[in-house]
Amino acid sequence: MKRITWISILAASIAAAAVAQTPVVPTPESLVWAQTISVTGNGSAQVTPDRVMFTVGVQTVAPTVDGAVNDNNARVAAVIAALKKAGATDKEIRTSNFYINPQQEYNNQGQLPRIIGYQVSNNVTVTRSDIASAGRLLQAAISAGVNQASGLNFEVSDPSRGRDQGLLSAFNDAKAKAAVLAQAAGRTLGRALSISEGSRAEIPRPMPMGKGVAMAEVVSEVPVESGAQILNYAVSVVFELR
């Protein structure tokens, strides 16, 4: 009886060791993903902007708040009227900034600063689909009394423009990278098993127009060139290896 017990224990130990040493059989899914390569491709599309946006304003200084505001209001009203006369509509013109800053005088005797006047600034932003009219509108605004300008931007109103071309370019880039890597590994490239996409628009840098625009009796039309906007795309693709 004692001998049978030891034999049973020994048999159980051998069986347990055999189970522990049994190799793990990979599933079909793990075999598929073990024979793949993942790459990221980049592509771009060049499109022509179809919308222009610029901001202009008037800054005035006077000894009193009322005086600075009233002077500024009259000048800004003249600028808006000139913009409308040049072709801009009510929907294309919006007030984008208004502020009042006290002008202070400091001394070296430890006393509090003394207010000697007030600075008022009022800016309007024009957004227009007719890019060709931008130079004419800027000319009209400056002639009407603008002495501040913060930027000139060109935009693509429809983000889907150029998308197909950009995505195809990104996929082809990913496929070319994968083919090189597969060849280096002594394999050939198979099907695309997974594709994920992401895109980013390269926003054109604003064209600085400067501040404190010099006033003149006659202002010529401002030269404006919209150039092109680059839309960048990226795709991540998992290819089958054969």
Give CATH for domain 26-242.
Answer: 3.30.70.2970
Domain spans of the chain?
A: 26-242
Q: pLDDT band for 70, please (50, 70, 90 cuts).
A: very high
- Put simply, whether the predicted model's pTM sits higher than 0.85 gets the answer no
pLDDT at 217 over 80: no
Give residue 219's pLDDT band: very low, low, confident or very high (50, 70, 90): low
The pLDDT tens digits of the residues spanning 149-175 come to: 887 888 888 878 888 899 999 999 999
pLDDT score, position 40: 94
| Cβ-based burial of 201 (10 A; exposed 0-12, middle 13-18, buried ≥19) | middle
- The per-residue pLDDT for 215 is 36
**pLDDT score for 212:** 40
Give residue 158's pLDDT.
Answer: 85
For residue 230, the model assigns a pLDDT of: 85
Range from 1-5, 43-47, 59-63, 64-68 carrying the lowest mean pLDDT: 1-5
Mean of per-residue pLDDT scores for the chain: 80
